[in-house]
Structure 1
Amino acid sequence: MTQLRFDVLCIGNAIVDVIADADDAFLEAQGLTKGSMRLIDEAEAERLYGVMGPGRELSGGSAGNTAAGLAALGCKAGFIGQVADDQLGAIYKHDVQSLGVEFLVPARGEIGATARSLILVTPDAQRTMNTFLGAAQLLDASVIDHGAVADAGILYLEGYLWDPEAPRAAMEAAIADAKAAGRRVAFTLSDTFVVDRHGPDFLRLANEGKLDILFANAAELASITGEQDFEAGLAILAPKVPLLVVTHGEQGAVAIQGSERARVAAEPIEALVDTTGAGDLFAAGFLAGQARGKGLEACLRLGAIAAAEVIQHYGARPEADLKALAGGLLA
């Protein structure tokens, strides 16, 4: 059997995260809703950066975080995302490649600045995200490496990138490539605001058989189904996709594949520091299990382990040895 170039190829926003501590009073003074994510322009990014406290600059972006987690778990991971030909773009590419992720898109000039997300973390570990998409939203279908997509076991897409027209077309093209090659497509809903804007489009993808694995959290599940009851929401969405994976905060996570259902509890942690990237790393663990042909429960446990690691420190990239934490689950 021919070995694939990638276990998972991820497409998403190439964003540098700037993470700083803040209190509720600061959020209120800036008119920010705690725990939310909003899109901002370059002027607001500069203004907010000027008034927030000292920050830690880390390469991020939802699918990029997932790719980093996959590499940390020993998977062959690739990433498609657009950066500008500037300092942050160079930092982002270097960071991704240093983690063992293959970065497939060259930097571009004259497209503005590389994207950044200003993340304010309150003492209760809630993160409030203010994202300037910059160059990331200019990912074009012309830069999609069709051969790389066809040579990946799973194509993973983030809902955040569905908003701008150009990257949406790029992801549609990649989906077509993956399906033509007989590969699986995984998609994450990303955020309730994304679902509110594009829920019908995501359901169209599911109804057309273009999605094989769909990731959501409890809030996104409620948003896309219109059903506040968790179990009722699962009953509505699960029949629409071959494999549905839904995280439920402290209550763990559920996976439903046809008539098979598995559930695991959240992993115990010593301290909750920053929830940034929890869903991204959960997806990494679950997809690592899928790439190795593991059962639903093992995949969920790998996701829970990876998510638990990332929420115990600042930043959305793993710091501990995920393979060691996973132990025999990866064998």
Structure 2
Amino acid sequence: MSTPRYDVVAIGNAIVDILAQTDDAFIAAEGMAKGSMQLMFSPGDADALYAKMGPGMEASGGSAANTVAAIAAMGGRCGFIGQVADDQLGDVFGHDIRAAGVDFATATRSGEPTTARCLIFVTPDGQRTMNTFLGASQFLPEAALDRDLIADAAILYLEGYLWDPEEPRAAMRAAIEVARKAGRKVAFTLSDTFCISRHGGDFRKLIADGLIDILFANEAELAALTGTEDFEAALAQVAAKVPTLVVTRGADGACAVQAGTRADVAAEPIDRVVDTTGAGDLFAAGFLHGQAQGRDLTQSLRLGAICAAEIIGHVGARPIVDMKALVTQKLAR
């Protein structure tokens, strides 16, 4: 097996985030489930909700894209595969991810729908409530896969959010086959409980068939996947089926089980939680970067916690500090 040129290549939704501050009353009035993500199935719905937003900021996002952007910021070698439209937001997304040091060469898609956008409402407690119009991202075809890129990455990273539309689901299945034939690892994030409610059967089969090497979940997702609220029982159930299981626990830190060995880390201290958008994405970035560097389980978890703490301290899901310097400083303590 050849030495991979890339640490991580990710496939995910290519989304531009639009973030605005709001309050709990607005979240309730709009019928949103605070702290979750819901899909909007028409551009009209997205436009109507956008019109109600206060002053906002635009930033390229997308769960897996955030992850590889952060890995690149730490010095990792990354690529991304995702579908944008031939429009202004598509140009914004492409520019931002390339500027972050991530290889991105997926051809743009002409015509409707537009590039995906996520309207994110951030409440004073830092919780983010996301409303996503998937747009062009849900039409990522298998033909758009760069098979050489996938085969040349130590880890293929897939996001559960993109499992919902049929076309990219087929593309991700094909990508898993490419990665496994090349002897590479496949990492998968469950993304949200709504993904499990819609596709839990598929996810459980991927796990049962031995196609997932590294699985990311939070406590709620782990409970939804297993059907039990008993954390230790759920952890043991899934850890027995995947080589590496990583579970984030919010303020309680995170834990991982790898080949029967368990490690737990505390959350990194932070003065104030400003915006939790991207916390899970950045945790995955730190952990995957640690694994790609050959770090042990505890060190990889610490890297995840450091990255997550950086992102929740400001608005937006991409790092705003020198991540190499931050990681070096924090790990030296």
Q: TM-score range by the shorter chain?
A: over 0.9
Residue identity opposite 2:291 in structure 1: Q
Partner of 1:36: 36
- The alignment status of 1:270 with 2:262, answered yes or no, reads no
Residue identity opposite 1:6 in structure 2: Y
Matches for 1:90-239 after TM superposition, within 5 Å:
90-239=91-240
Shift of 1:3: 4.4
- Tell me, in whole angstroms, the C-alpha distance in 1 between the residues paired with 2:311 and 2:104: 22
Partner of 1:84: 85
Partner of 2:244: 243
**Seq. identity, %:** 62
Matches for 1:252-267 after TM superposition, within 5 Å:
252-267=253-268
- Tell me, in whole angstroms, the C-alpha distance in 1 between the residues paired with 2:92 and 2:61: 11
- Tell me, in whole angstroms, the C-alpha distance in 1 between the residues paired with 2:34 and 2:290: 33
Residue identity opposite 2:12 in structure 1: G
- The alignment status of 1:282 with 2:297, answered yes or no, reads no
Shift of 1:112: 1.3
- Tell me, in whole angstroms, the C-alpha distance in 2 between the residues paired with 1:223 and 1:154: 26
> For the Cα contact (< 8 Å) 2:36–2:192, is it kept in 1?
no
Shift of 1:2: 5.3
Shift of 1:30: 1.6
- Tell me, in whole angstroms, the C-alpha distance in 1 between the residues paired with 2:139 and 2:90: 14
Shift of 1:207: 1.0
Superposition CA RMSD, Å:
1.2
Partner of 2:307: 306
Shift of 1:33: 2.0
- Tell me, in whole angstroms, the C-alpha distance in 2 between the residues paired with 1:47 and 1:300: 40
Residue identity opposite 1:211 in structure 2: I
Paired residue secondary structure (1:93): helix
Q: Residue deviations 1:230-278, cap 9 Å, x none?
A: 1111011111101000001111101101221101000000110000000
Q: Residue deviations 1:123-161, cap 9 Å, x none?
A: 011111000000000000001011111000000000000
Matches for 1:18-97 after TM superposition, within 5 Å:
18-40=18-40, 41-97=42-98
- The alignment status of 1:6 with 2:27, answered yes or no, reads no
Q: Residue deviations 1:261-298, cap 9 Å, x none?
A: 10100000011000000000000000000101110000
- Tell me, in whole angstroms, the C-alpha distance in 2 between the residues paired with 1:31 and 1:287: 36
- Tell me, in whole angstroms, the C-alpha distance in 1 between the residues paired with 2:210 and 2:39: 30
Is 103-112 or 87-96 further displaced after alignment? Answer: 103-112
- Tell me, in whole angstroms, the C-alpha distance in 2 between the residues paired with 1:230 and 1:92: 38
| TM-score between both structures, scaled by the size of structure 1 | 0.98
Q: Residue deviations 1:182-206, cap 9 Å, x none?
A: 0000000000000111111111111
Paired residue secondary structure (1:318): coil
> For the Cα contact (< 8 Å) 2:8–2:154, is it kept in 1?
yes
Paired residue secondary structure (1:105): coil
Paired residue secondary structure (1:240): coil
5+ residue gaps in structure 1? none
Q: Residue deviations 1:26-61, cap 9 Å, x none?
A: 112222221121100211100000011011000000
Name segments (4+ residues, structure 1) moved above 3 Å.
none
- Tell me, in whole angstroms, the C-alpha distance in 2 between the residues paired with 1:254 and 1:32: 30
Paired residue secondary structure (1:119): strand
5+ residue gaps in structure 2? none
- Tell me, in whole angstroms, the C-alpha distance in 1 between the residues paired with 2:124 and 2:263: 33
> For the Cα contact (< 8 Å) 2:246–2:254, is it kept in 1?
yes
